[in-house]
Amino acid sequence: MSEMEKSDLIQQQQGHRLSEDSESDDEMVESVARQPAANVADGHGIKRPNDDDSDDDDDAGQTPAKEPRDNNATVVASHYNKLEERGLYERSKSRIFYMRNFNNWIKSILINRYLDRIKDKAALGTPLRVMDMCCGKGGDLLKWIKGNITHLICTDIAEVSVEQCEARYNNINQKNDQGGKPFTAEFFAADATLQRLREKYRDPSIDLHLVSCQFAFHYCFESLKQAEFMLKNAAECLKEGGYFIGTIPDANEIMKRQRAAGGDSFGNDVYKISFLCDTEKPPLFGAKYNFQLDGVVDCPEFLVHFPTLVKLALKFGLRLVEKKRFDEFYEESVSSGRGLLEKMQALETFPGFSRDDRERQQNREEYRHAQQYLDRKDGRHTKVGTLSKSEWEASTLYMFFAFQKMKKSWDKEGKPVYS
């Protein structure tokens, strides 16, 4: 990218989403944002089997670091290194239990979609190699097992998280009745915004089919240099036709809510965002805010100006093929993914089965949308799956993206050209 192009990027300003999609009353219930309401049979709620995906996504998102100038890399890594492992029972009592499961369901659908696309094009028996960039404690390991991949590279800035990820992988192998490893794997700690990951691979010449970065990529938008470095790490070893997928906060949605709130802080009893930058003209890079989620995460994050991301990605041969907000993706995927939605307990049954559930649901404002949905059904359904209003508002802060690696050739000056 030329210096003039970089200057152009710096001068651009934050965009705004101007339109909202229509919604189907059969699948969605209205609140401040679109709200899910999964129809279930009379007298029954969301299934509650022993869920082998229940350990997935214990992390709200792992983080690449910032540049050493403010030592934030140390702050972020320390934050995630100090997060303690929690058991399933403790997680089930969390205020955001269903929201986490819902986000985890989104990730599962996303990962499965792109693994399937890769497999559809690959010859039978082709080894499938994946990098989980910003892997955290290994919340997606079971997804990779179910995806029948061949080799996995796990990397994260937080060394303790990587150690926990490797331990989880080894534990899965020990429980494998067939005695073999579901896939080979390698683990290392690194700052993906400052260090070349390829140099740490066991085989630096490896071709990857998929790179996944879940709830973490936005940290690199502290600076142009960091964003470019992380994109290079994502793209460098991708095969032509391979995919880079990820989930990030939706900057347009965040700015929309900030302006509606009329101040630099806003949120609800689940999340809170407090801006630390000029919200009238937020910069393309370094648009900083503090994000708190149910007291679990309280770290500085950065807005991702998506048109800038698309432009930067092209420099590394990555072409945008898809992006959607979580509410849009839910609406699109709920019919085909309903079984997994129930298995992963991604929606809360309303009215609840237990006394604790019913007492929590006495907060009428949080569940008004669900009650209205049942009222419109005139007794045809007595229970429905949903998220609380606050959880839905927190979850719909996010979006996903998918980029595809383009074919590379070389111009007369020896520079790469992508098509």
pLDDT, tens digit, 9 for 90 and up, residues 337-354: 999 999 999 999 988 766
Task: State residue 192's pLDDT score.
Answer: 97
Assess whether pLDDT exceeds 80 at residue 47: no
Tokens of 161: 């998280």
CA distance 197 to 136: 16
39 is in an annotated binding site: no
Domains, the chain, with CATH or none = 40-250+304-338+389-408 (3.40.50.150), 348-386 (no CATH)
State which amino acid sits at residue 117: R
CA distance 276 to 259: 15
Assess whether pLDDT exceeds 50 at residue 367: yes
Task: State residue 410's pLDDT score.
Answer: 66
Residue range 268-275: average pLDDT? 96
* pTM summary value: 0.81
For 143-181, give the DSSP string.
HHHHTT-SEEEEEES-HHHHHHHHHHHHHHHHH-TTSS-
> Residue 161 in contact with residue 63, Cβ under 8 Å?
no
Residue range 400-417: average pLDDT? 81
CA distance 38 to 347: 8
The residues pairing with 400 across neighbouring beta strands, listed in sequence order, are 247, 324
CA distance 98 to 104: 10
191 is in an annotated binding site: yes
> Residue 418 in contact with residue 317, Cβ under 8 Å?
yes
State which amino acid sits at residue 324: K
398 is in an annotated binding site: no
Q: Is 255 helix (H, G, I), strand (E, B) or coil?
A: helix
CA distance 122 to 162: 30
* pLDDT tens-place string over residues 81-134: 555 555 554 556 788 999 999 999 999 999 999 999 999 999 998 999 999 999
104 is in an annotated binding site: yes
Task: State residue 50's pLDDT score.
Answer: 35
Task: State residue 69's pLDDT score.
Answer: 43
**351 alpha carbon, distance to own chain's centre:** 29
Assess whether pLDDT exceeds 90 at residue 298: no
119 is in an annotated binding site: no
214 is in an annotated binding site: yes
Mean pLDDT of the chain: 82
Residue range 303-331: average pLDDT? 98
Place of tokens 């082998």: 52
* pLDDT tens-place string over residues 160-174: 999 999 999 999 988
**50 alpha carbon, distance to own chain's centre:** 24
CA distance 372 to 367: 9
Model confidence at 273, in pLDDT bands (50, 70, 90)?
Answer: very high
Assess whether pLDDT exceeds 60 at residue 32: no
Of 196 and 37, more confident: 196
Assess whether pLDDT exceeds 50 at residue 51: no
CA distance 288 to 403: 25
Choice among 186-190, 259-263, 411-415 with the minimum mean pLDDT: 411-415
Task: State residue 23's pLDDT score.
Answer: 33
* pLDDT tens-place string over residues 183-227: 999 999 999 999 999 999 999 999 999 999 999 999 999 999 999
Nearest to 314 by CA among 392, 416, 237: 416
Task: State residue 417's pLDDT score.
Answer: 72
